[in-house]
Amino acid sequence: MQLEAMEIDAAIATKFVQLVLNCIRQEYPHNNIFWFESDEDIKPPRELTPAFYGCLDWHSAVHGHWLLARLARYFPDAEFQKTAREALTQTLTSEKIQGEVAHLHRCPFFECPYGFSWLLQLATELYEWDDSQAKEWLAVLEPLEMLIANNFHRWLQRLELPDRTGGHFQTAFPLSLALDWARSRGNKDFANLIENKAQKFYLHNRNYPFHFEPLGYDFVSPCLAEADLMRRILKPKDFANWLTDFLPELLTEESEHYLQPAQVANPNDYLQSHFRGLNLSRAWMLEGIISRLPANDSRLNTLHSIAFLHRQHGLVEVANKHYSSSHWLGTFAVYLVTARGLCR
């Protein structure tokens, strides 16, 4: 399936919802990093993390539930309302969330920072949704939300250097999601910590060679993720000046040729499928960057063209049913086309 328009309609949303419903209860195949202290810790995923055990890994299960909440909120009259709500109700029970809390007490930084950021994004969606059932789900989720926020805060306090790769351990993208959560939930301490760390890590970065990307099988662009975080923190003029120093190649005539969409030779390969996500995340990060630049910035036309090109490439065959894509890619598409990163 290819999304032709800039907006998502209910029919397309239904297909994304179905892909998630097909995998949130599918325990295997499973891929995760667990810390085992003894034989007693070796259990099936459904026992270790009883709420979020499907979709190949924990973070994909979490953001699959975010997709259900996002689209149910976005399409209040859609036919999938009932099934999406039933799925959220089945997962977000006190018993299951307490099981997740118990696991995080044993492994405080499991899925930190990437998975943590998506759990906070799920909480943000429920918090901002004017819906009585969403408030009930949020109340159930809150013990896990608060534990993850506290553990994330502790982790970030100790972090001395950012991860500049484009995979699950990358630093800038999770901090963007966490900052959106902290501002939405009024957690000023966490927001201030993120802003301070971002400036420590990135404010003085210069001359990034973005034509080297992607670095391996990235699903986010290290440089654009960094810029998308900094646009959340800096004033427009300051951000424009920072971007000039950080990505001077954007000022050259060849800039459109440097950042071309990643090509996927084998879409059923789990690593190559990351490139589909990379095109989608590049598109939304470029749109975020555009949103913060002054209206007279000379780079805007070029950035619009690059963002549009990545959006087009990223949304081709985005609902591929092979598990390499179906367990996660819909989230990236929905995050892009519903402009979640631009919401306040």
CA distances from residue 145 to 58, 185, 304, 333 in whole angstroms, order as listed: 15, 11, 36, 24
**Among 16-30, 106-120, 240-254, which stretch is predicted with the lowest mean pLDDT?**
240-254
Angle (CA) 104 107 112, round 5°: 80
pTM above 0.85, yes or no: yes
For the chain, percent helix, then strand, then coil, each to nearest 5?
60, 0, 40
Write out the DSSP string of 26-47. ---S-------SSGGG---HHH
Q: At what angle do helices 114-128 and 58-74 cross, to 10 degrees?
A: 20
7 versus 139: the higher-pLDDT residue is 139
Instruction: Tell me if 45 sits within 8 A of 30, measured CB to CB.
Output: yes
Q: Is the per-residue pLDDT at 159 higher than 70?
A: yes
**Among 22-26, 73-77, 253-257, which stretch is predicted with the lowest mean pLDDT?**
253-257
Domain membership of residue 261 (yes or no) is: yes
Query: Rounded CA gap, 156 and 122, in Å?
Result: 20
Instruction: Tell me if 1 sits within 8 A of 318, measured CB to CB.
Output: yes
The whole-number pLDDT of residue 109 equals: 96
Closest CA to 117 of 186, 51, 169, 57: 169
The whole-number pLDDT of residue 7 equals: 66
Read off the pLDDT of residues 306-338 as tens digits, 9 standing for 90 and up.
Answer: 999 999 999 987 877 899 999 999 999 999 999
Rounded to an integer, the average pLDDT of 276-283 is 96
Closest CA to 65 of 98, 95, 89: 89
Mean pLDDT of the chain: 93
The whole-number pLDDT of residue 41 equals: 82
- N-to-C CA span, the chain: 30
Boundaries of domain holding 177 = 10-342
What is the SS3 assignment for 306?
A: helix
Q: What percent of the chain has pLDDT over 90?
A: 85
Count of structural domains within the chain: 1
**Among 31-40, 173-182, 209-218, 241-250, which stretch is predicted with the lowest mean pLDDT?**
31-40
Domain membership of residue 5 (yes or no) is: no
The whole-number pLDDT of residue 1 equals: 40
Place of tokens 């029970």: 93
The whole-number pLDDT of residue 57 equals: 97
- CATH number of residue 91's parent domain: 1.50.10
Q: Is the per-residue pLDDT at 6 higher than 50?
A: no
Q: Is the per-residue pLDDT at 343 higher than 90?
A: no
Domain membership of residue 76 (yes or no) is: yes
- In the structure encoding, which two tokens stand for residue 233, read together? 């923190």
Domain membership of residue 4 (yes or no) is: no
Query: What distance lies between CA 275 and its chain's CA centroid?
Result: 15
Domain membership of residue 110 (yes or no) is: yes
Q: Is the per-residue pLDDT at 4 higher than 80?
A: no
Q: Is the per-residue pLDDT at 77 higher than 90?
A: yes
Contacts of 304 (CB under 8 A, 6+ apart): 290
Domain membership of residue 147 (yes or no) is: yes
Domain membership of residue 246 (yes or no) is: yes
Rounded to an integer, the average pLDDT of 141-151 is 98
**Among 32-41, 123-132, 184-193, which stretch is predicted with the lowest mean pLDDT?**
32-41
Query: Rounded CA gap, 112 and 58, in Å?
Result: 11
The whole-number pLDDT of residue 39 equals: 87
Domain membership of residue 1 (yes or no) is: no
Contacts of 111 (CB under 8 A, 6+ apart): 58, 59
Q: What percent of the chain has pLDDT over 70?
A: 97
9 versus 320: the higher-pLDDT residue is 9
Read off the pLDDT of residues 220-255 as tens digits, 9 standing for 90 and up.
Answer: 999 999 999 999 999 999 999 999 999 998 877 677
